[in-house]
Amino acid sequence: MAEIQNNEPNVWKWALKVVASTGLTGILCCVVPVVLFMFGLMGGIYAISFADAFYNPDGSAAFGAWAFRGLAVVIGAAGIWFYRRKQNQCSIDPKRKRGNLIILTATIVVLGLGFYFTLEKASGWYFDKYIVPAQQQEYQERLK
């Protein structure tokens, strides 16, 4: 008969997986056009219009951007909940469980926000450096 393994989940591996998921999900509206533009799958005009669909004309976040950010929070909370559930299957010290949960939560919040803001800054830089000039060039070519 197969033996069931009751190994404690690794808090750091779990946290990094959730951090990557939350940070990327939160900024998906800006990363997708950057990646598609980088691979030549969309031009500058379409990349700008794709990103503009998630923001108001004044540059503030519209419903779509907030929906991705909300989804990122849900993914982070689900990651914590699933970790806690998996951790409760193990027979480890309750103090250690609580400590692991605190470490996981803090790691997800701090690194998730850091990853999100890093991607936001990088995508903004890429838009300004490469996509906006390409969009202006494509627009000028259409006017000719």
Mapping DSSP onto H, E and C, the string for 67-83 reads: HHHHHHHHHHHHHHHHH
The reported pLDDT for the residue numbered 61 is: 87
Ordered alpha helix ranges (H), 1-144: 11-26, 28-38, 44-52, 63-87, 94-126, 132-143
pLDDT tens per residue, range 35-94: 999 999 999 889 888 888 898 888 788 999 999 999 999 999 999 999 988 887 776 788
Distance (Å, whole) CA 35 – CA 120: 13
Contact of 94 with 53, CB cutoff 8 Å = no
Q: Which two tokens stand for residue 3?
A: 């033996």
Q: What is the pTM of this model?
A: 0.82
Please name every residue paired with 108 in a beta bridge, in sequence order, or none if there are none: none
Distance (Å, whole) CA 72 – CA 55: 17
Phi and psi dihedrals of 141, rounded to 5? -65, -35
Rg of the chain's alpha carbons, rounded to an integer?
A: 20
pLDDT tens per residue, range 100-134: 899 999 999 999 999 999 999 999 999 999 999 99
